Structure 1
């Protein structure tokens, strides 16, 4: 650590202490092993260093056990511009069966089990772009993982049982519980990583990380708290398959916390972080440079020198790394520009850049339809009963308005400016410091009643219940749309103007065109021409470019009336024929 990174800067004569690297000595993790010799030569200047560095992602994909999943937005590339990979919601990792389906080639974890007599060829055929790879490197990596990687060892163990032909249907369990974790229901000795179970294992191992079956008709999700998630996805960065981060790693000299039946894992109390290592603390520790340990995470990175900033084949920038010749030595390690990442939001605890002010996301949902999170082994009835006693931000707003008269002067989205949400207590508390703005979750116009509920929430103060939101001048309406109309919120097309304006800040032009056509087709718009005149330019932003691309004429010019007409036609076609 640099001396200026110490905590006790005010005292120049005292022994410096540091927080970023190890939480002032409270985080102590096993030493990082140096990579096996074969991988070390590929990462640290060996004969095939340049080739391996250029193709490291493809090599990693040949040996990863899992795939990346998510809800992919395929419409975003319908227009012009560089290719964009967009996931809606959360990215997650998936693992399939031990055997491929009949007639299908093996991939991911199956490559460790199926037809390993032709493994080099199978792996090189499994990933796009593998034609440029070196078969000798692939062969060397296979041998390296077989000799060193404990996860690979588990899958090879399954292969041997399949080849013996004695068992046709079984499961491979990658074990989560170890004696060091402090968990009950330990399923194996502390040095056991994988085991085979014949038949159904669902009720046998409640704390398993992963169960992989010989015959499985769907992909299973691997959760972010699984201690093998990074090792399965990035085997070249974690060549030994050792344990990664998990929830129960204790801080140094801390005792395991006594479980409290009244506190759910989903709603931990405020003292939880005082006994265990957080994910950020874990990786901050691992990313610190310790010359006496292995530095695989640094050697395997993609932060290499470039003489110029340029765009790759998909249109994304690869940033320039100047060869200035300037270096610094830190703990006997020479560092230069490749270790600086200026576009990171937070570089090992230093504030590089932040969004200001903070935005508090506020949920919007109908009565009885709030989102509830739970673990896969929890009883759904118990989850539902417990959650009845816990308020989310919307329900908590109702409760504060019932009990604190001063709170009734704010709308829902104004509330975070004056109150702080306490997640551990499920309640709002009067704000003491800081600047925070509220943003109601986006709701599409096709969502019906939820859309009109959001409109009311933007305007009404002092709300104490869902029924209150449907009450206007003493009349309780059955529908939120009726309440909106009674409040006069639907008379001047303001809701459509707001919807289009909000989306124009982040949506692509073709998405705005689809939204405009949808609004006109499914709603009563008082003045469609006025709405069009206010917003058509945002919807037409890519029309001239797309027509130049279609015609092959880069000098093509269109009149304003032509652009407006094309924009309307494209909006209709894109909504009716989205693909």
Structure 2
């Protein structure tokens, strides 16, 4: 499912820079090197950092991006403190040559090339509205400092506030500009509108968090995937129902808004008409998929936390009484959140699935067959759709699609066509690495 009967219509990657596209698709030495170390290049030039405990699987298998625990997205001030090295957007307001040498000289980027950093730094300065907004703020700081010296007064504080518009034209084809994504304020903080959330200061003692529902999280964290600053998902994104009467059934879906899952499914789907950098990002694609799925789960968990009464989870009186009685005399525990059985992968969900399977056994007896189905990364359907130089681990989205289609075809043979005999009942489970 990519666009829910054409109700999801988004304009993405249509203004992708030609020079950067050549780096994604090229077969020269620089292009291959760029794709090999794309996570280093992206994370070094990102205006927001993704912080997580990365735990790659043990062994010598294909590359797998895996995280453990909470994931945070954060950004810093315009300038680093005196004892700190430039990070996040602080690198992007530096001179291109100085920034390229600074980034290439870091230990974590020992295998990266200054020439590629120089190219990417210059490209983002020319095409990315968020980079241009940070540079605009730096210019305002410079002008304010100069004017304060000439007038013999105290330098006023300068802050940049990212615009908080959530409803935009999703089919917009032109790229945003610096003045559309942020506003720079000089003077008292009381002048800043209260409904706006992300504020960049000249210097901050620590990184500031970006809410996982913020539409700026993706373009700030993945500038090499969204070099023109295209928005990520936000809760107000609407489905397009203008062509409802053209559908065979004449009935729209129940939701009027685009869900996170639908949004990211749309981005990951292959379309011949538009170049999609995600399909050529290799290791960075894995990071982006993991990051996106964590946001989806965080949103679902937050919904359950805020809607305990509507979901009737607070009516489990016996369980609550047990919790309140199971204390050690130090006072009542904090608020307990009951995870619904509808949350996929949760404890109550797993227990419910197990009980459903056992009810089949209790009625029909022990199963006769236990069949396993494993994905083969060298299947022709996978290999034939890889770009030159790619391996199957570079396209986890392609592997998942092919495997799911194979599983459906296999179940159709066994269950519907009954090639192994009459099927009285069955249950299935899946495990994904």
TM-score normalised per structure 2: 0.56
Q: Distance in 2 between matches of 1:58 and 1:239?
A: 16
SS in structure 1 opposite 2:168? Answer: helix
Structure 2 equivalent of residue 287 of structure 1: 268
Matched, 1:91 2:10: no
Equivalenced residue count is 293
Cα 1:151–1:27, aligned 2, differ >3 Å: closer, same or farther?
Answer: same
Q: Higher RCO, 1 or 2 (CA under 8 Å, sep at least 6)?
A: 2
Please give the residue correspondences for 1:504-515 in structure 2 after superposition, counting only pairs within 5 Å: none
- Cα gap change, 1:435 to 1:61, in 2 (>3 Å): closer
Larger C-alpha radius of gyration, 1 or 2? Answer: 1
2:69 matches 1:151: no
The 5 A counterparts of 1:56-135 are: 56-69=38-51, 89-114=69-94, 118-125=98-105, 127-135=106-114
Structure with the largest fraction of helix:
2
Aligned to 2:412: none
Partner of 1:37: 18
Post-superposition offset of 1:90: 2.0
1:517-555 CA distance string (max 9 Å, x none):
xxxxxxxxxxxxxxxxxxxxxxxxxxxxxxxxxxxxxxx
**Equivalent position of 2:196 in the other structure:** 208
User: Quick check: 1:66–1:94 contact (8 Å CA) kept in 2?
Assistant: yes
Q: What are the Cα deviations for residues 236-284 of structure 1, in whole angstroms up to 9, with x where unaligned? A: 1111111121110101138xxxxxxxxxxxxxxxx99711000110111
Aligned-residue offset at 1:144: 0.8
Q: Structure 1: where are the runs of 5+ without partners?
A: 1-19, 183-187, 255-270, 305-317, 319-340, 347-362, 364-370, 375-386, 403-418, 439-579
Distance in 1 (CA, whole Å) between partners of 2:284 and 2:230 is: 24
Are 1:435 and 2:347 counterparts? no
Matching of residue 253 in structure 1 with residue 171 in structure 2: no
Aligned to 1:228: 216
In 1, Cα distance between equivalents of 2:178 and 2:85: 35
Listed one character per residue, the Cα deviations across residues 194-215 of structure 1 (whole Å, up to 9, x for unaligned) are: 1112345578434435211112
What is residue 34 of structure 2 aligned with on the other side? 52
* 1:298 and 2:217 aligned: no
Which SS does the other structure have where 2:110 is aligned?
A: helix
1:177, 1:207 within 8 Å by CA — same for their partners in 2? no
- Map of 1:142 onto structure 2: 121
Q: Write the mapping of 1:378-397 to structure 2, written as runs, cut at 5 A.
A: 390=309, 395-397=314-316
Higher-strand-fraction structure: 1
Distance of aligned partners of 1:101 and 1:273 in 2 relative to their CA distance in 1, 3 Å threshold: farther
Residues 401 and 98 of structure 1, relative CA distance in 2, 3 Å threshold: closer
Q: Helix, strand or coil: the match of 1:98? A: coil
